[in-house]
């Protein structure tokens, strides 16, 4: 029941619905920028909540059956890859990993068209894409993916590193933490860890967060630099 164009209007929101920021009413999302199922899966593991598992799988199924990629918003790439990788790790079903491979290939082709960068209006969106590539690489250790992660990170450092603030552009650069930690380990180049720690120190010293969404977005990335 994810999408049924022949049915009557739903009396309640479904998995493909979001709240309209203007009128507060549910409306159908036309891409994947609002996806997220890792928290649901965690709820299943911690609380043995079968409904959370079912919802997490249905979200991943939506990624498999719909075309919700919008290259003008890189979140649709990063979040959809994470959704199907989460389902793959939970079930071992290859259909989810195969969909992740398709999406990663889309990212790599898109990246090549932009001189190795991951263009977006906000740096954190590029970070979300990198996070998904890192998770994909950890599963199969694909050399090509690692190489493209390195290219994207180097591109961002070259063009956006702000020595005064200590961030890759702004605090949104914290979402590069997973990629920086991975590159430090895989390439043995300490500059990546040093940049990650510089961002961490700048964040702890200078940034005050009051928005719960920002807290969740930034703090979840920091532990990767402490391992």
* Strand partners of residue 26: 19
For the segment 138-196, what is each residue's pLDDT rounded down to a tens digit? 999 999 999 999 999 999 999 999 999 999 999 999 999 999 999 999 999 999 999 99
Neighbours of 71 (CB within 10 A): 15
Output the pTM of the full model. 0.81
Q: Whole-angstrom Cα distance, residue 95 to residue 25?
A: 34
Q: Whole-angstrom Cα distance, residue 209 to residue 175?
A: 15
Tell me what percent of the residues of the chain surpass a pLDDT of 70. 78
User: Average pLDDT, stretch 32-56?
Assistant: 68
Q: Give the 3-state secondary structure of 153-218.
A: HHHHHHHHEECCCCEECCHHHHHHHHHHHHHHHHHCCHHHHHHHHHHHHHHHHHCCCCCHHHHHHH
> Of all helices (H) and strands (E), which one includes residue 86?
helix 75-91
**When comparing pLDDT for 35 and 90, which is higher?**
90
Q: Please, what is the Cα angle at 132 between 170 and 169, to 5 degrees?
A: 10
Q: Cα-atom radius of gyration of the chain, to the nearest Å? A: 18
Backbone angle region of 49, left / alpha / beta, with phi > 0 → left and psi within -120 to 50 → alpha: beta
Comparing CA positions, the residue from 203, 118, 190, 202 lying closest to residue 153 is: 118
For the segment 107-140, what is each residue's pLDDT rounded down to a tens digit? 999 999 999 999 998 999 999 999 999 999 999 9
- What are the phi and psi torsion angles at 165 (to 5°)? -85, -25
Q: What pLDDT does 28 receive?
A: 53
Q: What pLDDT does 12 receive?
A: 41
Neighbours of 190 (CB within 10 A): 10
Q: Whole-angstrom Cα distance, residue 31 to residue 87?
A: 19
Q: What pLDDT does 44 receive?
A: 61
């Amino acid at each position: 029941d994810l999408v049924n164009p022949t049915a009557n209007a739903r009396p309640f929101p479904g998995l493909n619905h979001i709240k309209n920021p203007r009128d507060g009413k549910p409306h159908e999302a036309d891409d994947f920028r609002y996806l997220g199922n890792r928290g649901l899966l965690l709820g299943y593991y911690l609380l043995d909540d079968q409904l959370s598992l079912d919802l997490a799988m249905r979200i991943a199924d939506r990624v498999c059956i719909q075309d919700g990629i919008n290259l003008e918003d890189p979140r649709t790439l990063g979040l959809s890859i994470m959704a199907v990788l989460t389902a793959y790790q939970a079930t071992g079903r290859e259909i989810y990993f195969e969909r992740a491979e398709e999406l990663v290939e889309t990212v790599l082709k898109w990246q090549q068209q932009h001189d190795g960068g991951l263009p977006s209006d906000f740096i954190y969106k590029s970070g979300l894409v990198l996070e998904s590539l890192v998770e994909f690489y950890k599963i199969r250790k694909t050399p090509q993916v690692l190489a493209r992660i390195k290219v994207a990170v180097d591109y961002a450092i070259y063009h956006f590193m702000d020595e005064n603030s200590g961030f890759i552009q702004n605090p949104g650069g914290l979402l590069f933490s997973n990629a920086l930690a991975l590159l430090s380990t895989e390439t043995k180049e300490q500059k990546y860890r040093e940049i990650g720690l510089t961002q961490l120190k700048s964040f702890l010293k200078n940034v005050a967060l009051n928005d719960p969404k920002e807290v969740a977005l930034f703090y979840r990335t920091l532990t990767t630099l402490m391992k």
